[in-house]
Structure 1
Amino acid sequence: MADRHFVKYTFLKVDRAWRLLPAEERAEHKREFLAACEDFGQDHLLQACSTVGTRGDADMMLVAEAENLDRIHEFHVVLAQSGLMRWCDTPYSYLGMRKTSEYSDEERQKPRPFTGKYLFVYPFVKQRAWYALDAQERWRIMQEHIRVGKEFPNVDNHTTYCFGLDDQEFVVAFDTNDVGAFLDLVQRLRTTESSAWTERDTPSFTCINTTIERAVSALDGEALTLAVPG
């Protein structure tokens, strides 16, 4: 259990009124936000994506990984103290844990950063009847699903488990440099036997993988000067 890490997906939507504030005030809000991220990121994996232009109900996403829930909690407490967060809502929030799949021997317990230019994230729930199937039958069905995934080696899977931790059962995340490959992968997966057991796999987020600084700058279209003006 100690080797597993928690993964927290936090989607933020900034109030449009924030963009009307003076540039100096917005810059200070950003610096406070980035300072909280920098503190957490010194010894934990923290990544950001922008959803400006790809979603209407979220502007950016933070993905924080930690060895325990206390550190996740502390990070978000500090983050909430920043000026920027006073102007942000959290329309979506997902909590999961890394765990090796029972259907494959891929190592998925250790924190692993997203490396593709684009990230696709969605909560996933299977029909309850799926878990009533014999374990060998579930394994058989999932082998086709896994084989299809291997047909797209340029799309990397980062699924985390959420049973009892959050409303969904999984948070599915894929990163890639080829958006078309991801679309083709999902279309192929719709034809597999395992797809018939899906209860819910929305909302679906198309994200631009970037630095935290650039994701924050995209909120108002102004690059941030990190140094405080003298």
Structure 2
Amino acid sequence: MSPSLLEGEYAKFNFYKLDKTWRRLPEDEKEASKREFTSVISEIGTESPITTYGLTGTRGDCDIMLAQSSMDLDDFDKTAKRINHTHLAGYLDQSYSYLAVRRKTQYKHGGAEPKLQDYYKYFIIYPMVKKREWYQLNQDERQKMMGDHFKIGHKYPSIKINTTYSFGLDDQEFVVGFETDEPREFVSLVMDLREIPGGFYTESETPIFACVRKPIEEALEAVG
């Protein structure tokens, strides 16, 4: 699965941290637990797409991220149940969780659609909330500021954006994700966005997670 979604599809982003007591377990017990967890994630992926990421080297409060998509919201409940019944779940804390849905944007992008690849190594994701003043602006005013936003985005054609909507489903309003093979370019993109007027209407866009795409067994191996 790629974090790219179909129109109307739900997305769930789950971040987990393994307790430090995990590393003190006997090696054979850890290996058996990893195999079980890997098998469960693989089985889930055959029913609804799921992509796995590691964050051991990029954040201190989470080790792995599971990005799952489905047209059926109940699938996320089934996933949680199956994960909670694994041996690894006894050492697994859910640090963050974000729920959203893919919708068509109300703003015109302008310009041609860039050619994008299917696989990117990095997925940078964060929850976002706009200030209430943003919603008091008329559509033309918002379109103009979003137009500035899109122009900057077009300067970085190698970065793919995924915007999902959480209004009424979760605490944030949006979950915004960027796929890239070069995080330095994303830093430049964000710095450019800070200089446009539309940024004034952002209430919050933290925490930010720099996720490294990898098989779940590799993500677990990095933990210990």
TM-score, normalised with respect to structure 1: 0.88
Picking from 15, 26, 33, the partner of 2:19 is 15
CA-to-partner distance for each residue in 1:108-157, whole Å, 9 max, x for gaps?
Answer: xxxx9972111111110000111111112111111110111111001110
Partner of 2:97: 93
CA positional deviation for 1:213: 2.0
> Does residue 186 of the first structure (1) align with residue 190 of the second (2)?
yes
94 and 113 in structure 1: CA distance in 2 versus 1, 3 angstrom threshold: farther
The residue matched to 2:108 in structure 1 has which SS?
Answer: coil
113 and 16 in structure 1: CA distance in 2 versus 1, 3 angstrom threshold: farther
190 and 43 in structure 1: CA distance in 2 versus 1, 3 angstrom threshold: same
210 and 61 in structure 1: CA distance in 2 versus 1, 3 angstrom threshold: same
CA-to-partner distance for each residue in 1:6-31, whole Å, 9 max, x for gaps?
Answer: 11000000000011001111112112
Partner of 2:28: 24
Structure 2: how far apart are the matches of 1:144 and 1:174? 18
CA-to-partner distance for each residue in 1:62-89, whole Å, 9 max, x for gaps?
Answer: 1011111111110111111111111011
Is the CA contact 1:45–1:113 (under 8 Å) kept in the aligned structure 2? no
Q: Which runs of 5+ in 2 are unaligned?
A: 1-5, 111-115
CA root-mean-square deviation = 1.8
Structure 1: how far apart are the matches of 2:212 and 2:149? 26
The residue matched to 2:106 in structure 1 has which SS?
Answer: coil
The residue matched to 1:218 in structure 2 has which SS?
Answer: helix
Partner of 1:223: none
> Does residue 48 of the first structure (1) align with residue 61 of the second (2)?
no
114 and 206 in structure 1: CA distance in 2 versus 1, 3 angstrom threshold: farther
Structure 2: how far apart are the matches of 1:27 and 1:67? 34
Picking from 122, 130, 151, the partner of 2:126 is 122
Is the CA contact 2:7–2:103 (under 8 Å) kept in the aligned structure 1? no
Picking from 198, 201, 204, the partner of 1:197 is 201
Is the CA contact 1:6–1:96 (under 8 Å) kept in the aligned structure 2? yes
TM-score, normalised with respect to structure 2: 0.91
Is the CA contact 1:36–1:75 (under 8 Å) kept in the aligned structure 2? no
Structure 1: how far apart are the matches of 2:147 and 2:55? 33
Structure 1: how far apart are the matches of 2:101 and 2:79? 17
1:146-185 superposed matches below 5 A = 146-185=150-189
Runs of 4+ in 1 over 3 A off after TM superposition: none
Partner of 2:211: 207
Is the CA contact 1:33–1:84 (under 8 Å) kept in the aligned structure 2? yes
80 and 160 in structure 1: CA distance in 2 versus 1, 3 angstrom threshold: same
Corresponding letter in the other structure for 2:123: L
The residue matched to 2:223 in structure 1 has which SS?
Answer: coil
Q: Equivalent pairs: percent with the same residue? A: 36
CA positional deviation for 1:197: 0.4
Corresponding letter in the other structure for 1:48: T
Corresponding letter in the other structure for 1:33: F
Give the number of equivalent residue pairs: 214
CA-to-partner distance for each residue in 1:24-59, whole Å, 9 max, x for gaps?
Answer: 111121122112211110132111111011101011
218 and 123 in structure 1: CA distance in 2 versus 1, 3 angstrom threshold: same
Structure 1: how far apart are the matches of 2:35 and 2:123? 25
Picking from 77, 83, 89, the partner of 2:81 is 77
